[in-house]
Amino acid sequence: MVVLDPAKLTRDREQVIPALKKYLDMNKLALAAVKPGGIFLTCSCTGLVGEEQFLDMLRRAAFYARRTLQVLKVSGAGPDHPWLAHVPESRYLKAAFCRVE
């Protein structure tokens, strides 16, 4: 099992694309460390990076790492971290539990 849980990468909307590139690089490296059949948990707490963007980055990381990724569960913050409907960035925690081949 490999767990990747980096710190928040940006608070600036102008830096979202560079942050996604950093996530891509980190995830490619982490995927290389997972043995076939292993579990990979990758997380993001960058509120400006949406879940759809995060999962797209993860798909690309698996492609570039030449690994097959099966997403077992996508999760986020627990009930003790509610988010505001009018502030999508407050839904900042994202976690993808995956099996790697």
- Domain spans, the chain: 2-100
- Whether pLDDT at 68 is above 90: yes
From its phi and psi, is residue 37 left (phi > 0), alpha (psi between -120 and 50) or beta? left
- Whether pLDDT at 88 is above 90: no
Of 35, 27, 31, the closest CA to residue 6 belongs to 27
- Whether pLDDT at 22 is above 90: yes
CATH number for the region 2-100 comes to 3.40.50.150
